[in-house]
Amino acid sequence: MPRLPPFDRCATCEDLARLPEDVVAEIVDGELHANPNPAPPVASSVIALGGTLRRAFGQRGGESWQILPGPELHLGADILVPGLAGWPLSRLPELPATAYFSVPPDWVCEIRSSSPASLRARKMAIYARECVSRAWLIDPVARNLEVWRLKDGRWTILATHIGDQLVRAEPFETLELQLDALWPRG
């Protein structure tokens, strides 16, 4: 995700608004970053996982979640756009009227694409600062899922799943997830 101007000051929402609509833009540690919309393998994984989680947890009483693809998260001065994010219905009973979320999610899913690992690490630090308790990192090309938990302000990796495994992963461990359903066909 290339860094864009301004280079002489922290980026703002106004800087985001000036960008073309066909990019996904974020402000990370005051820097503006933008990428084209997700490549087909990334989009395919987001749709597959988001649909599976919405079907499983959209209307389950105490286990219900708001699961959304590509939400714009306003977290302090940072604006992040994960592949997916989720909030238990008990914490976010209704979607905001704004085009963004100021309530940090409980779970994020970052889909590895062309973003450098250093930017992902900075985003994970922001998620930790905002007390996002769970994170998944998915690589649709390598076909793996990493499951992370925040404990005492630090990320701990719980598991790495690969290929076509059947997995149960926090915070959705009541769901058996067939990994090969997430990977692009072709």
- pLDDT tens for residues 101-125? 999 999 999 988 756 788 889 999 9
Q: Where are the beta strands (DSSP E) in the chain?
A: 3-4, 23-28, 31-36, 65-69, 73-75, 78-80, 84-88, 107-111, 134-139, 144-151, 154-162, 166-167, 177-178
Domain ranges (residues) in the chain: 38-181
Q: How do beta strands 134-139 and 107-111 pair?
A: parallel
Ramachandran angles phi, psi of 28, nearest 5°? -120, 115
Q: Which two tokens stand for residue 108?
A: 């994020």
**pLDDT value, residue 123:** 96
Give 69's contacts (C-beta < 8 A, 6+ positions apart). Answer: 46, 47, 50, 83, 84
pLDDT in tens, 10-27: 898 888 888 888 888 889
For strands 177-178 and 134-139, give the pairing: unpaired
What's the pLDDT score for residue 61?
60
CA 120 to CA 109: how far, in whole Å?
A: 11
| pLDDT level of residue 40 (50, 70, 90 thresholds) | confident
Write the CATH number of the domain with boundaries 38-181.
Answer: 3.90.1570.10
Q: If pLDDT is split at 50, 70 and 90, which confidence band does 60 have?
A: low
Please tell me the pTM assigned to this model. 0.90
pLDDT digits (tens, 9 = 90+) for 168-183: 999 999 999 999 999 9
6 prior amide bond cis, ω within 30: yes
DSSP letter for 59, please.
T
